[in-house]
Structures are given as structure tokens and as C-alpha cells.
Amino acid sequence: MRLENKVALITGAGSGIGRETATLFAREGARVVVVDVNDAAGQETVSMIEAAGGQAVYVHADISQAADCAKMVRTAEESYGQLNILFNNAGISHINDDNAETTEEAVWDLTMNINLKGVFLGCKYGVPALRRAGGGSIINTASFVALVGAATPQIAYTASKGGVLSMTRELAVIHARENIRVNALCPGPLRTELLMKYLNTEEKRQRRLVHIPMGRFGEAREIAQAVLFLASDESSFVTGATFMVDGGITAAYVTPE
């Protein structure tokens, strides 16, 4: 098993990419700390893991709050003795996130607090734990929109994911000699509740699909497989990477420097 004897903490593990990754990690031998603000969903993920013979514990945490991030990392070490993998995955795409003129300041602030500050706080408390474990892997969920503008305006989301990408690069450089790898996962448009709630009309969905060379939305399980690679020792020489899993969308629209 690719994650045997590893302990992984996953935020936003109650649904979507987080849940798919949590269950996959458990099948690959990891003990999983499931983090979410939705207690019922988080507990359901734990139950799914346990029903399949894996080990998991649930922690309620609002990742925009420092005390909660400290608590989730502390729970990992208290429950399983170490932390080897940190997947800063939780994020939001607000229904009222639009262009710069129409997006309310409160929507901007909420998006930044969860999508960007939440990753910062995860690393703030997670890095020392990984150091205590002798190193490990951090995967931060960014997005393809960190590299290209979104066809449907979502200014706060796009800006927050650009920040995650930049922060990941700096963290990778700072901690490379400590055996701590830090990579940014950049999914393309996925068939998840988060995106489908935002792309709530056929017109909006088609505006996204026309830009994807593969002609379809990705699935959360496909992203989980990419996270598994970045979490495992198979990616031991990979750090500071912008890891695209996007159906070819950025290949079609990003001009090489």
C-alpha cells in the first residue's frame, strides 16, 4: 500500500475531492484525520472509511480560525502520534462571487478567509508537525483559474487561488531542505456539488465545457488519484509544482513564457 504507516489530515473531507481522497488514502493504508465544518458529512466519511476496514477520526474545524487549525493538527498527533501528509483542500465558491464591480466586500473577505487564509493557517500549524515527523508532503488545492481567467466571473475565487499558488511556491522553497514537500494541485472544472451549484444553468455549464479539450467535467475521484501521487513517496523529487489535472484546459489557453 502506497501510504502505509502514514497519517494524513484532509480539510473539506466531508464531500467532493476531500471525501474521495480520504477514502482512497485509507484504502492505501493511511490513518486519516477527517476535517470539515459539516459534522454529519464529516462523520459519514469516517464511517465509510471504518466500514471498509480503515482508521479515521473526525475533527470539526473552521479553517479560517487559527484555534481550529491548531486543534486539528493537535488531534492528528494525539490520535496517531504523527502527521505525514497535509491536504489543505477545503474551499468555497460563493454564489454571489462575480466581477469586481458587483461582488460585495463581504463575499471577497469570506472567500479569502477560507480559501487563502485557511491554507496559510493549515501550513502554520501543520509544518511544525511534519517537521516533528521527519518531513512529509503538503498539498494545497489551487485551481486552473490561478493561471487563466474564468469564463464566468468569480473574482474573489480566482484571486484566492492565485494566492494559494504563489504561497505554495514560497513554502516549497523555504522547507525543501527539511524534507517537507509542498505542491499546488490545480483541478480543472469538476462535476462536484461546489461547481455545479455555481454553474446552475445549462448556458453556464456550456461556457465552461467549450474551453475543455476533453469535452467533459472531471470527476472528484480523478483528482484524488493525483493527490495520492503527490502525497506518496512516488513524488519524492516533486516540490513547488503546479500540478494540473484539468482535461487540457490550460494547455489550450496558457502561452508558454
Q: Is 198 a catalytic residue?
A: no
CA dist 98 → 85, 151, 152, 190 (Å): 34, 11, 8, 19
* Edge-to-edge strand list for the sheet holding 180-187: 55-60, 31-36, 7-11, 85-88, 136-141, 180-187, 242-245
DSSP E strands in 188-241: the ranges are none
SS3 174: helix
SS3 242: strand
Planar angle of CA 119, 124, 130, nearest 5 degrees: 100
Helix and strand numbers (H, E) in the chain are 10, 7
Q: Of these residues, 58, 125, 157, 198, which one is catalytic?
A: 157
CA distance 220 to 197: 15
- Furthest CA-CA distance within the chain: 51
CA dist 208 → 115, 187, 188, 195 (Å): 21, 13, 10, 11
Q: Which residues are catalytic?
A: 157
